[in-house]
Amino acid sequence: MSWIPFKIGQPKKQIVPKTVERDFEREYGKLQQLEEQTRRLQKDMKKSTDADLAMSKSAVKISLDLLSNPLCEQDQDFLNMVTALDTAMKRMDAFNQEKVNQIQKTVIEPLKKFGSVFPSLNMAVKRREQALQDYRRLQAKVEKYEEKEKTGPVLAKLHQAREELRPVRDDFEAKNKQLLDEMPRFYHSRLDYFQPSFEALIRAQACGRAALTRC
């Protein structure tokens, strides 16, 4: 009969119920998706505000170039029209700058703050995974001695292995429970957290349309 060495780290006992593992993977998967969406939204908002500012700066430059056109010296009506355009473009640029500052404060910075939570969350998940690996390793060690003939030295090693296992198991269960409690709570908090930001964004865009209408 061939002998197959027992691999420490792979216990026979199912130490984490499959339902618990599925719940953990589901909740963590939702947060990974939320992290990516938050990062993408922050990036898109930055691109949008940069584009707004670039557009209004370009419009101001165009109006200034027109003012330096010789036609403005030759045609008073043309000068009046270009001067009115220049005033409107500068007004639009000033408003765009104000709007971008507001979006930075009420949307982009909150997105950045919300996103800063994910590194510590991911680190907590890694610590939980390390605790699980330690738990499996020591559980396998206990099972190995349980399967041996119950001699004095084996019983002593079994007792020692069980003593080593107990705090590691408790540590894993505490980390696992904390994450299973906190991950859904954090995920659902996104609605209350972002609602004021999106309301501020809508107001800023509405004011922008009104300002352009006045221009």
Report domain extents, the chain.
18-213
- Model confidence pLDDT, tens digit, residues 128-156: 999 999 999 999 999 998 888 888 988 89
Q: Is the pLDDT of residue 88 over 60?
A: yes
Top CATH class of 18-213 equals mainly alpha
Q: Which residue has the higher pLDDT, 205 or 159?
A: 159
pLDDT at residue 118, rounded to an integer: 95
DSSP state of 130: H
Helix 152-214, helix 76-103: angle, nearest 10 = 160
H helices, E strands: number in the chain = 6, 0
What is d(CA 160, CA 179) in angstroms, rounded to the nearest whole number?
A: 30
Tokens found for residue 96: 């765009």
Q: How far is CA 158 from the centre of its chain?
A: 45
| pTM of the predicted protein model | 0.77
The single residue listed with the structure tokens 């209350």 is 192
pLDDT at residue 8, rounded to an integer: 46
**Mapping DSSP to helix (H, G, I), strand (E, B) and coil, where does residue 99 land?**
helix
Nearest-5° Cα angle at 143, 138 to 149: 130
Burial of residue 157 (CB within 10 Å: 0-12, 13-18, 19+) is: middle
